[in-house]
Chain A
């Protein structure tokens, strides 16, 4: 089972900030939070990742709570091209295996 919980869908007006929440209450100390998105059956696209501190890149910002049990992905000025399914993934390494467990994600619809 996925280690994260996300709302199944969200709407956002074009030009506004889109804030996508993710709960990962069982995250352990050495696990990272990654965000990917998938635009209509295309290959998933890496957005951002973080461990403890907030992160920002040219695509988005990632805000991680102090207890690390939840995070928020922020798309500062959403455009119609940001309509996609957004996946929040906790990346863990179990023994010698590398597990990447994807949940159902949040379907973000940007409305004009």
Chain B
């Protein structure tokens, strides 16, 4: 158990809909990262938040957005969903801001999103 929690575990929805994925980092961790993993693919970095502020963006679509709240939990919002958005979505947390290259990330169990 990494200490990172994600809800829900599974999510099934229809095209065009909007969903919110939630992540609670390990106690004391200030950074939250979001990743997308499509079927049999590697992880794609989406976005990184540190202590409530966006720090880095990866290949995140404009239809996707995220935020980190004062209690440090984070939400990833996916809108106008398409079939291709079906994937595993992982969040990870770390203590250091992400500016240090020795930033070890601890991953949650993921949310499996299925868009029908």
Contacts and interface: CB of A to CB of B under 8 A. Distances in A.
A31 interface: yes
B33 A43 contact: no
Interface residues of B, number: 29
Interface in B36-84: 42-45, 48, 55-58
Nearest to B33: A100
Interface residues of A, number: 26
Interface of A: 2, 30-32, 34, 41-46, 49, 87, 91-93, 96-105
Interface of B: 2, 4, 33, 42-45, 48, 55-58, 88, 90, 92, 98-110, 112
Given A44-B107, A96-B55, A97-B55, 18 more contacts: A32-B101, A32-B102, A42-B110, A43-B4, A43-B90, A43-B92, A43-B110, A44-B43, A44-B92, A45-B2, A46-B105, A91-B101, A93-B99, A97-B57, A98-B55, A98-B98, A99-B45, A102-B43
